[in-house]
């Protein structure tokens, strides 16, 4: 930051027009989200509709993933901290071609036994990186994922190089856990962590100013984060901000100014669209507003093809990574695979016995916390 110039990009008075391709892809998310919530007669359509533009840019232009290999170790991680907006994630998984996220699963949103629970559940469906529901929990876990990436990259620099992206809402940032998590991330300069804040100023009870008046951008800056602000419905601004975030040496927060329930003419921008179905009449009006004249759950083939093409782009990255893994010495490759599996080193027991032998010769008068610290050094190193 030079002189008195602000460290945040300012949102322009007018958004540049999005491409028709982008709008079609984003509106597919909005349509699936409002249709699934309506069919279930419960859920949260507002956040998916508001963050559809941001998610479309992230998945189509930045996120490194391969639906055919959902557990590929060097994939980028995407964490939906605002887990109540789960239809955003389920829509993306279906559209990009995750095999187990079928249209039937989307239609069974929030039904007993479906993969599409009201909040994302780890282990229920491929592509769900972690369980999120309690606000702020996903953000805190994403900090852990970014730390894990940094620690692994220090050991295996040739095969570990991925980012962790988070979509967080106002509620996530109100939680106390978010303060500790972002402080930790800023202190350690976890520069491959990028948080996309759904800055819509609406909570379940109404305007967020009923409960909070924090300047979130200054809070993140104070914790050592790089901060930008964009119009969350402007494709070009979003793309430019994420590209810049990937180049900084700090964790990044991008404040995405959005309209909750974007496209629903009578309910957008209000708490009424946060956690309840839009209703048949409002959905019909939203279809007209969004220029989406298609039946419920109907994604035209040309739009679905655009999303499926996004899903196939990661195959070359995963294939190249497999070649890099094969090029490693067998011992290093085995060590890396064991670390992913959570296996302990084969020589751990010998190392601990040697450590105990050394201590027995000259046992120090350490506090328990100090003993634990020294033991962990032996186990880790």
242 and 360 in one domain? no
- Structural tokens at position 329: 């010495």
Model confidence at 359, in pLDDT bands (50, 70, 90)? confident
CB atoms within 10 A of CB 227: 25
Pick from 268, 288, 320: which residue ends a domain?
320
Residues 211-225: what's their mean pLDDT? 97
Separation between Cα atoms, residue 56 and residue 58, nearest integer Å: 5
210: Cβ–Cβ under 8 A, 6 or more apart, which residues?
203
Residues 290-297: what's their mean pLDDT? 98
Q: For residue 248, what is the domain's CATH number?
A: 3.40.50.970
312 and 355 in one domain? no
Give the rounded percent of residues in the chain with a pLDDT score beyond 70.
94
313 and 360 in one domain? no
Position 13 in a domain = no
pLDDT of 16 over the 50 cut: yes
The structural domain count of the chain equals 2
Position 197 in a domain = yes
What is the per-residue pLDDT for 351? 82
Position 333 in a domain = no
What is the per-residue pLDDT for 281? 98
Residues 235-254: what's their mean pLDDT? 98
Q: Which residue has the higher pLDDT, 54 or 355?
A: 54
Position 334 in a domain = no
Sign, CA dihedral 117-121-127-130, equals: positive
354 and 229 in one domain? no
261 and 381 in one domain? no
Position 1 in a domain = no
354 and 246 in one domain? no
19: Cβ–Cβ under 8 A, 6 or more apart, which residues?
235
Position 238 in a domain = yes
pTM here?
0.92
What is the per-residue pLDDT for 36? 98
Pick from 274, 305, 320: which residue ends a domain?
320
What is the per-residue pLDDT for 353? 86
> 169 forms bridges with which residues in the sheet?
198
Separation between Cα atoms, residue 179 and residue 132, nearest integer Å: 18
What is the per-residue pLDDT for 15? 52
Residues 46-62: what's their mean pLDDT? 98
What is the per-residue pLDDT for 292? 98
227 and 133 in one domain? yes
271 and 145 in one domain? yes
Residues 326-341: what's their mean pLDDT? 93
Residue 280: domain span: 20-320
What is the per-residue pLDDT for 352? 83
272 and 139 in one domain? yes
Which residue has tokens 């300047």? 215
What is the per-residue pLDDT for 9? 36
Pick from 304, 320, 336: which residue ends a domain?
320
pLDDT tens figures, 264-282:
999 999 999 999 999 999 9
pLDDT tens figures, 22-35:
999 999 999 999 99
Position 325 in a domain = no
Separation between Cα atoms, residue 331 and residue 345, nearest integer Å: 12
Mean of the per-residue pLDDT values of the chain: 93
User: Which H helix or E strand runs over 217?
Assistant: helix 216-222
Position 3 in a domain = no
181 and 255 in one domain? yes
Separation between Cα atoms, residue 53 and residue 377, nearest integer Å: 45
What is the per-residue pLDDT for 342? 87
44 and 78 in one domain? yes
369 and 298 in one domain? no
Model confidence at 8, in pLDDT bands (50, 70, 90)? very low
pLDDT tens figures, 171-214:
999 999 999 999 999 999 999 999 999 999 999 889 999 999 99
């Amino acid at each position: 930051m030079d002189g008195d110039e602000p460290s945040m990009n300012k949102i322009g008075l007018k958004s540049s027009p999005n491409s028709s391709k982008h709008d079609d892809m984003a509106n597919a998310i909005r349509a699936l989200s409002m249709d699934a919530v309506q069919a279930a007669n419960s859920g949260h359509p507002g956040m998916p509709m508001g963050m559809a533009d941001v998610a479309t840019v992230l998945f189509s232009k930045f996120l490194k993933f391969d639906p055919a290999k959902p557990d590929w170790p060097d994939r980028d991680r995407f964490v939906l901290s605002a887990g109540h907006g789960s239809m955003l994630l389920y829509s993306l998984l279906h559209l990009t071609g995750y095999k187990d996220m079928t249209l039937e699963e989307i239609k069974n949103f929030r039904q007993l036994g479906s993969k599409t629970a009201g909040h994302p559940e780890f282990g229920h469906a491929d592509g769900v990186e972690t369980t999120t529901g309690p606000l702020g929990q996903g953000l805190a876990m994403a900090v852990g994922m970014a730390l894990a990436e940094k620690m692994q990259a220090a050991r295996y620099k040739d095969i570990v190089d991925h980012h962790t992206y988070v979509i967080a809402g106002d509620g996530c940032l109100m939680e106390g856990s978010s303060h500790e998590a972002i402080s930790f991330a800023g202190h350690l300069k976890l520069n491959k962590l990028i948080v996309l804040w759904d800055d819509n100023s609406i909570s379940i009870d109404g305007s967020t100013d009923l409960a909070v008046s924090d300047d979130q951008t200054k809070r993140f800056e104070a914790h050592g984060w790089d901060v930008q602000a964009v119009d969350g419905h402007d494709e070009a601004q979003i793309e430019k901000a994420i590209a810049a975030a990937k180049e900084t040496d700090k964790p990044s927060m991008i404040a995405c100014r959005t309209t909750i329930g974007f496209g629903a003419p009578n309910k957008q921008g209000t708490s009424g669209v946060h956690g309840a179905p839009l209703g048949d009449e409002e959905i019909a009006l939203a279809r007209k507003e969004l220029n989406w004249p298609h039946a419920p759950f109907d994604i035209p083939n040309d739009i679905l093809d655009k999303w499926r093409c996004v899903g196939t782009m990661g195959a070359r990255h995963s294939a190249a990574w497999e070649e890099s893994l094969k090029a490693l010495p067998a011992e290093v490759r085995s060590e890396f695979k064991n670390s992913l599996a959570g296996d302990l080193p084969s020589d751990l027991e010998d190392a601990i016995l040697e450590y105990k032998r050394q201590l027995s010769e000259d046992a120090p008068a350490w506090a328990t916390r100090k003993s634990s610290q020294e033991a962990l050094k032996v186990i880790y190193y």
